[in-house]
Amino acid sequence: MINKRSLWFLTLFSLILVLSIYYITMPSELLLTTDKSQVNNNDNYTNSEPTISVEESDLLVALRVESDEEMTKEIEDLQLVLTNTESSVDEKNKAYEKIKQLNDNRGEEEKLETQIKENYKLDSFVKITNGQINVTVNSSEHSESLANNIMRTIQSNYDDSKYITVKFQK
């Protein structure tokens, strides 16, 4: 059974997660402050549309944000089950275990991303779903040997065999 302290922790954790996703996805123009006097003194200043350039890591950021949104939505649904007075003890226990599993998967994904960053100096995104590990690597090099090395590195963390896919994106 879940106690009030755990419920408050999960609620606050979800709130912090949602706010951090919002902060990360906020346009950078809102975060920058400009001095109006400098803009007015510039004779070459024109009102034109801003140019948007896509960086290499934008794909990985988009994947992370999408994954975080899915996780947040799922946790919110499970928290509704936990707080519902009509839910049975068994349903509440299953919801709590699912939340715990989601948080464990998130920690495991971050650990694997850090390991890939340290070993291969590559930015990556790792998604664990139903025992399958999907890795998206931000690299212009698309070699089979690099993919095999990444898969071996990830598999070395587990005792049982895992289904691991490596996808390169530039």
Supply the DSSP string of 40-53, one letter for each residue: HH-TT----PPP--
Classify domain 4-24+56-169 at the CATH topology level: Helix Hairpins (1.10.287)
DSSP state of 86: T
Instruction: Please report, in tens digits, the pLDDT of each residue of the chain (170 residues total).
Output: 678 888 888 899 898 988 888 888 877 666 565 444 444 554 454 555 666 554 546 788 888 899 999 999 999 999 998 888 898 999 989 999 999 999 999 999 999 999 999 999 999 999 998 889 999 998 887 889 999 999 999 999 999 999 999 999 87
What is the phi-psi region of residue 131: left when phi exceeds 0, alpha when psi lies from -120 to 50, beta otherwise? left
Residue 26's pLDDT is what? 76
Q: Distance (Å, rounded) from C-alpha 136 to C-alpha 166?
A: 6
Is 113:63 a contact under the CB 8 Å cutoff?
Answer: no
Is 144:83 a contact under the CB 8 Å cutoff?
Answer: no
Helix (H, G, I), strand (E, B) or coil at 109: helix
Is 148:167 a contact under the CB 8 Å cutoff?
Answer: no
Domain boundaries, the chain: 4-24+56-169
User: In whole angstroms, how far apart are CA 75 and each of 8, 19, 35, 69, 82?
Assistant: 13, 15, 42, 10, 10
DSSP state of 76: H
**Closest to 136 (Cα-Cα) out of 43, 40, 59:** 59
Residue 35's pLDDT is what? 44
**Closest to 152 (Cα-Cα) out of 170, 102, 144:** 144
Q: Distance (Å, rounded) from C-alpha 47 to C-alpha 67?
A: 36
Helix (H, G, I), strand (E, B) or coil at 135: strand
Q: Distance (Å, rounded) from C-alpha 149 to C-alpha 152?
A: 5
pTM for the model: 0.62
